[in-house]
Chain A
Amino acid sequence: MSVLVLSPWNGRISLRLHCHALVVAALLLVALIGVSVASLMSGSYPLSLRGVWNTLAGNPPEEIARTVVWEFRFPRTVVSAIAGALFGLSGAILQYVTRNPLADPSLVGVSQGAGLAVVSAIVLFPEMNLFWRPLLAFAGALAVAALIQSIAMQRTGGATMRFILTGIGVAAFIAAITNAMLTYGDIDQAQAALGWLAGSIHAVGWPEVWSLTLCLAILVPALIWSARYLSALRLGPEVSIGLGVPIRSARIGMITLSVALAAFAVAAVGPLGFVGLVAPHLARRLAHSGVGQHLLLTALTGALMVGLADFVGRIAFAPVQIPAGILTAILGVPVFLLLILKTQSTRQL
């Protein structure tokens, strides 16, 4: 496996890049751009490639084309890609910190917290303005994640396993309350809540684009800076301590970062399941690399998964719209299983 070593700024920063991972990242980026272009060009409103291009350039063939491209297609395309990247990154961080390959944002209560907050609002306060849903989702996600962390960090020693068990327990408790709301609430409100829980990018607009872009701008630099802690944490607490990592604060910081990434994404598009769990594994199976490159591959994989799911869900059975949350699993699982089988057969050989 060829490795490229870069040492810019007189060796103050040293980068060890796997060439194969770089190629895979480039291919994923090309695929993501391809899906995005296809998404901008396709839909129930008939627009040629030239029409889309002219609209993007500020000369729409008719006024309604500007609305379709700039207000519907463009925000959906951007939000689906960013949300997918955020879910993937959140899952990858958790898998590194907990050293548990099954970790994803639902493990720390992000999905359940957001779900409980939004379902409660829909069922108990049906008159509430839709404007509050993302804010409630964000607050619910952070509150439940903070609760799980505070319980798990009560005592020292065995923190990782306690964190996982606490997360599973609290998440199950909250999911039960949410299910009770859905079961006993008004049937129309319950249907609306189920639609949100399935994960939908249908209603996103520019506010979601700006909030997720802000999230990327703030949290991704923090993630890049802290990647070295992840490299140590994945080797276990003893090695991490030996490498001089302040393990308790590093773990809390990384989990908080993971929660924030997922909370922004959930607030925008609902609790899209499966992406946070699978995107890191898909990325790992596509190319072996260091932590930094793996995070890049994970972000691109997550973006591609959700972008493709939204694109297919929007046009495959139009005008019937399939929620992206359903299609991420339908499209992602076969690919995931194929990669697992391929990896196993390679190892057997």
Chain B
Amino acid sequence: MRRISLAVLAICAATPSLALECGDGMRAFTHTTGETCIPENLQRIVSLGSKNVTVPLIELGHTPVGSQGSLREDGTATIRASAVSTGVKFDNSDITFVGDYPVDLELVAALEPDLIIWPDWQDEVNMDQLTLIAPTIAYATDATVHDAQAFYARLLGAEDELARAKARYDAQIAQLAALVPAGTTVSVIHGGDGGFWTSYPYGNLTLILEDAGFEVVDIQASIVPGEYPTFSAERLQEFDADWVFTTYRTDRGQTPADATAAMENAFPGYCDVLTACAAGRFIALPREEVSTPSYDAVGAAIFALTTHMSNPFTQPTN
């Protein structure tokens, strides 16, 4: 056995290293789909995902030269979740709007990027095309805020900023957790066509809630990660919990009224059926703050939750 081990070690030592060798001024960076040589000093990043790429980049101190954006109904483009998370928008920065889905490849090329970040949902353009323009790295959109921030901090060399942001998150969570009695249950639902849809985990919201000690109801906790199932309206009561949350999209001009209207449309009189709703514990939150991989956004969401948990008149009695 020892001989075999030594032989294996000898073969390994004799085999050339498979590590990626990069030229001067470049370094190897491991990402979702492999390893790529990227510039050591990044100057001109183009982000192909607004909420999941552009926002954390800005938060960690790097403003990209171009970004994907979402189109509003009036035809203007927005960096989803950035206005509330970072304050940076297309019209108050030098960030160029490079299209939505798909992005405009020629415009990406015209920006002469030194790095392109491709989120996996942007699949109308592929890595092969983008690599012709500049080194391209892939990012998994379903990463948690912790994993996403760690990814971008490693990319930008911003580990110190990350450590401070993580410490702040832990302190905020500790403050919220102190308000949550053991066994407090929670669910997140949306009204849809003839039923309710949700997911598990539900972006950063589930992460925050579970870190703070909430227990997600069984029907939601049993959902396979990555799926967005629709449930029959008849199963509404299975989503009842001490606190029930829903969200609305501010980037589309929605308000809490849109979220409650969708619930009413799916199940007329839903608020009488959900005990949490009847007791004032059905809360609508803006989706951007609870789905963006940004510690600033997450901090805002935790503060909103802390405010609701601090209301002495809406606490569950069990």
Q: Verify A184–B229 contact, CB threshold 8 A.
A: yes
Contact flag A200-B102 (CB < 8 Å), given A184-B229, A184-B230: yes
Residue of B whose beta carbon sits closest to that of A69: B106
Chain A residues, CB < 8 A from B109: 45, 64, 67-68, 72
Q: Give Cα A39 to B71, complex, Å.
A: 25
- What is the CB-to-nearest-CB distance from B261 to chain A, in angstroms, rounded to a whole number? 20
B106 & A68 in contact (Cβ 8 Å cutoff)? yes
- List the A side residues contacting B226 at CB < 8 Å: 126, 186
A281 within 8 A of B: no
Encode contact with A along B119-147: 1 for CB under 8 Å, 0 otherwise.
Answer: 00101111011001100000001000000
* CB neighbours of B71 from chain A (8 A): 320
Given contacts A191-B101, A195-B102, contact A202 B124 (CB under 8 A): yes
Given contacts A67-B133, A200-B124, A205-B129, contact A72 B105 (CB under 8 A): yes
CB neighbours of B104 from chain A (8 A): 44, 318-321
The reply to whether B106 and A45 contact each other, CB–CB distance below 8 Å, is yes
Interface code A41-73, partner B: CB below 8 Å = 1, 0 otherwise? 001111000000000000000001001100111
Question: Given that A44-B110, A68-B106, A186-B228 are contacting pairs, would A205 and B121 also be in contact in the complex, using a CB cutoff of 8 Å?
Answer: no
**Contact at B227–A186, with CB atoms within 8 Å?**
yes
The verdict on A188 contacting chain B, using a C-beta distance below 8 Å, is: yes
CB-CB under 8 A from B230, the residues of chain A are: 184
CA distance A67 to B227 in the complex (A): 38
Q: What residues of chain A lie closer than 8 Å to B228, measured between beta carbons?
A: 186-187
Min CB distance A135 to B, Å, is 15
Q: Are A318 and B107 closer than 8 Å at their CB atoms?
A: yes
Pick the most buried of A44, A45, A67, A318: most chain B CB atoms within 10 A of its CB: A44
* Interface flag for B115 (CB, 8 Å): no
| With known contacts A45-B107, A188-B141, A191-B101, A64–B124 Cβ distance under 8 A | no
> In the assembly, what is the distance between CA of A132 and CA of B99, in Å?
26
Q: Does B112 contact A (CB under 8 A)?
A: yes
- B99, A321: Cβ atoms closer than 8 Å: yes
- Whether the Cβ atoms of B107 and A203 lie closer than 8 Å is no
CB of A222 closer than 8 Å to a CB of B:
no
Q: Is the CB of B99 within 8 A of A130?
A: no
Roughly how many angstroms separate A67 CA and B123 CA in the complex, as a whole number? 20
A192 proximal to B (CB < 8 A): yes
Using Cβ atoms and an 8 Å threshold, which residues of chain B touch A184? 229-230
**Most chain A Cβ neighbours within 10 Å, of B98, B100, B121, B123:** B123
- Shortest B100–chain A CB gap in Å is 6
In-complex Cβ contact of B123 among A71, A130, A318 (8 A):
A130
Chain A, range 185-201, C-beta contacts under 8 Å to B: 186-188, 191-192, 195, 200
> Does B53 sit within 8 A of A, measured CB to CB?
no
In the bound complex, CA of A43 to CA of B229 (Å): 40
Q: Which of A72, A73, A184: most chain B Cβ within 10 A? A: A72
Instruction: Provide the residues of chain A in CB contact with B177, threshold 8 Å.
Output: none
Docked pose: A73 CA to B129 CA in angstroms:
12
Partner of B106, one of A43, A195, A203: A43
Complex partner residue of B121 from A191, A202, A203, A320, CB under 8 angstroms: A191
Q: Which residues of A contact B133 (CB under 8 A)?
A: 64, 67
Do B102 and A192 touch across chains, with their CB atoms under 8 A apart? Answer: no
Contact in complex: B107, A195 (CB < 8 Å)? no
**B residues near A186, Cβ cutoff 8 Å:** 226-228
Residue of B nearest to A321 (CB): B102
Distance in angstroms from A38 CB to nearest chain B CB is 15
Q: Which residue of A lies closest to B107 (CB)?
A: A44
Shortest distance from the beta carbon of A180 to any chain B beta carbon, whole Å: 12
**Is B97's CB within 8 Å of the partner chain A?**
yes
| Pair A203/B129 contact, Cβ less than 8 Å | yes
B residues near A (Cβ < 8 Å) are 71, 97-107, 109-110, 112, 121, 123-126, 128-129, 132-133, 141, 226-230
In the A-B complex, list the 8 residue pairs whose CB atoms are closest, starting with the nearest. A319-B104, A319-B99, A44-B107, A45-B106, A44-B106, A43-B106, A45-B110, A319-B107
A-B contact pairs, 16 of them (CB 8 A): A44-B104, A45-B107, A72-B105, A72-B106, A126-B226, A184-B229, A184-B230, A186-B227, A191-B121, A195-B101, A202-B102, A203-B129, A205-B128, A319-B104, A320-B100, A321-B102
14 further interface pairs, Cβ-Cβ under 8 Å (given A64-B112, A72-B106, A184-B229): A44-B106, A45-B109, A46-B110, A71-B129, A186-B227, A188-B121, A191-B101, A200-B102, A202-B102, A205-B128, A319-B97, A319-B99, A319-B107, A321-B99
Which residues of A come within 8 Å of B, CB atoms?
Answer: 43-46, 64, 67-68, 71-73, 126, 130, 184, 186-188, 191-192, 195, 200, 202-203, 205, 318-321
